[in-house]
Amino acid sequence: MQTFKRLLLMAKSHSMRFVFAAICMLVVGAMQASLALVSKPAIDEIFMSKNMAALQWIPFAVIGIFLLKSACTYGQVILMSSIGLRIVADLRKKLYERIQVQSLSFFTQHPTGLLMSRITNDVMSVQSASSDAVTALIKDTFTLLCLIGVIFYTDWQLALIAMIVFPVTVYPISRFGKKMRKVTTSTQITMGTLSSLLQETISGTRIVKAFGMEKYETERFGAENERLFKLNMRTVSINAIASPMMEFLGGLGIAAVIFYGGYNVVAGTSTPGTFFSFLAAVLMLYEPVKRLTNVNNSINQGIAGADRIFSIIDRKPDIEDSPGAVDLPLIREGITLENVTFCYEETPVLKNINLSIRSGETLAIVGMSGGGKTTLVNLIPRFYDVTEGRVLIDGYDVRDVTTKSLRDHIAIVTQQTILFNDSVRNNIAYGDIKRTEEEIINAAKAANAHDFIMRLPKGYDSNIGELGTKLSGGEKQRISIARALLKDAPILILDEATSSLDTEAEIEVQEALDNLMKGRTTLVIAHRLSTIRKADRIIAMVSGQIVEEGTHEALLAKKGEYYRLYNLQFKDEGSSNDRLAKDVE
């Protein structure tokens, strides 16, 4: 009920529309009951007493009832749908906003497909609960009360007989509701898993085909799809059994009414009009009861979805601005890591790192995979917070400055180039779409991207496809470099920016990177050690610790970890000893 109340509170700003919708629903309920009332004079006065005056006004009364009922039905549908859709739109926006402010660790714990399922499937189940279910709850409850009033007004003894059945229906309704919530939760989780599987296999279709895993992936998808089918069938089964059970219980009450009411008509203590008016009200009575049973199921489905949505909305981000956070001023001194230790969950990734990087210096970071290189640079833009120690920029702890001002000072180019299904222009200007055409073109020229962009069908207005699929690897990387150039940030992070390129593309991209690195404090993670010879300083990392530090020549002469990595990389190129000796010299 707390979750349902929270959903209702979201409709508070739409209270006037809700009031008008409620009035419409009350009128619809009253008109439904009026149809049962008007059947008594219709039968007794027209068909039994042959009253011509009654024949003149009763048909018009019926037309008026249906006209008013239809108009109010239209009104309540429009008003309640607008409220429900607005709640869903607000909920989806709030959910997306909360997802966006989460740290990187959140996304490692929540697969993309599951998050997509929350925004789509879970939100749609909430829409049913917040509009359709609420509508039925108000309209059918009032209709129920009006019809109960009619049957007691018509014949209170018959009414007591009919009402005996209703308490019997409370238990199955409650039981079905609990089952529905459990099944719905399992269904939504499975739907999220299915979405995640789809996202992975479609985006990774080249790998699937390259390794001949089409059958395996089809079987994996089929297993989850079958599980979803069974859960959906359980949902259908619960809904299917609820309605027939209500009809059967209702049939028992109607049979009792027909027997007792028919006996009174035969005995002369009641009129046919009274009996049929009562019977019409009873028949109408069971329809809203059946709908209220389904409303209970819809509400439970919506609550199951809302619980999952609110679990994200209520989640506090791991990375937040401190209460007294200030904007980071222009960087003049550099970056310092003091006694930095970082653990992912309980596993140490970095151990007691002490490192100073001067403003304008190029620092290269090398080491085997899993050594902690990327984790180290991720601490600078505060994608993660240190477990122990401090990360300082010009003496400011990154936790004491606003994340926006911190990240405004940092540009990143990664191995996995992330581009968006948009124009070349918007991808370069990502982060500040108000940049001028001249600034965008100058950035593209500095990134060696202008020429190939102009060869595209629409130049800078060309759409590059999802994740830049219409471009080659080198072209995508140069667009990414142009984006970083346009940002013009004083700190630059290059995370294996050329490792996935062929030699020709690497040369063009390296030229663009040289332009990008000028005058900036640069941290370079590189597997190709040949690309970092010009770095001012190189550090070698092993198991989350800095084991060596110095220039390219000094580290080769030292013949330690860097020498070992360098030798491993060039051992297949022939006469590696001669090459090493030359480099040492």
SS (H, E, C) 110-130: CCHHHHHHHHHHHHHHHHHHH
What local confidence, expressed as pLDDT, does residue 577 receive?
Answer: 44
Angle of the 52-100 helix axis to the 272-313 helix axis, nearest 10? 10
Rounded distance, CA 109 to CA 386, Å?
A: 19
Tokens of 146: 């009006």
pLDDT of residue 505: 61
Helix 15-41 with 52-100: angle, nearest 10 deg: 150
Biggest CA–CA distance in the chain, Å, is 123
Two structure tokens written together for 533: 């010879």
- 262 to 150, 165, 266, 268: CA distances (angstroms): 18, 19, 6, 10
Question: Domain 2-313: what homologous superfamily?
Answer: ABC transporter type 1, transmembrane domain (1.20.1560.10)
**R_g (Cα) of the chain, nearest Å:** 36
Q: What is the pTM for the complete model shown?
A: 0.67
Which residues, including other chains, have CB under 8 Å from residue 186's CB and lie 6 or more apart?
231
Q: Tens of pLDDT along the chain (585 residues)?
A: 677 777 777 777 778 888 898 888 888 888 888 887 787 777 777 667 777 777 778 888 888 888 998 999 899 888 888 887 888 888 888 888 888 888 878 887 777 777 887 887 788 777 777 666 777 777 788 888 888 887 787 777 767 766 665 555 555 655 666 666 677 667 767 777 777 677 667 666 656 666 667 777 788 788 888 888 888 888 777 767 766 766 676 666 667 667 766 767 777 767 777 777 777 777 777 777 767 766 766 777 777 778 888 888 888 888 888 888 899 888 888 899 999 999 887 788 899 999 999 988 989 999 888 888 888 999 999 988 999 999 999 989 999 999 889 988 888 887 777 788 788 888 888 877 778 888 888 888 888 888 888 998 899 888 888 777 788 877 888 888 888 888 888 888 888 766 555 566 667 667 777 777 788 898 988 777 766 777 889 999 998 899 999 988 898 888 888 888 888 876 644 444 444 444 444
CA geometry: angle 434, 103, 5, nearest 5 deg: 100
CA separation, residue 278 to residues 135, 262, 292, 466, 582 (Å) = 26, 11, 21, 65, 106
Extract the tokens encoding 215: 């059958």
Closest CA to 565 of 368, 390, 372: 368
Whether residue 542 contacts residue 372, with contact meaning beta carbons closer than 8 Å, is answered with: no
- Short-list 582, 545, 538, CA closest to 562: 538
Closest CA to 204 of 220, 226, 227, 192: 220
Query: What does DSSP assign to residue 423?
Result: B
pLDDT at 537: 92
**Residue pair 402/409 in contact by the 8 Å Cβ criterion:** no
pLDDT of 575: 42
**For residue 556, how many other CB atoms are within 10 A of its CB?**
22
Cα dihedral 104→106→111→113 (10° resolution): -100
Q: Considering only CA atoms, which of 358, 363, 404 is closest in space to residue 381?
A: 404
Instruction: Give the C-alpha separation, 400 to 393, whole Å.
Output: 11
What separation in angstroms does the CA of 580 have from each of 37, 378, 525? 103, 32, 21
The letter for the amino acid at 265 is V
Domain ranges of the chain: 2-313
Cα dist. 13→92, 144, 302 in Å? Answer: 17, 29, 20
d(CA 159, CA 285): 11
> What is the end-to-end Cα distance of the chain in Å, rounded?
76
Report strand pairing: 362-367 vs 388-393: unpaired
Q: How far is Cα 470 from Cα 534, in angstroms, rounded to an integer?
A: 33
The per-residue pLDDT for 82 is: 83
Task: Give the DSSP letter of residue 501.
Answer: S
pLDDT the model gives residue 397: 92
> Residues 6 or more apart from 174 whose CB is under 8 A from it?
296
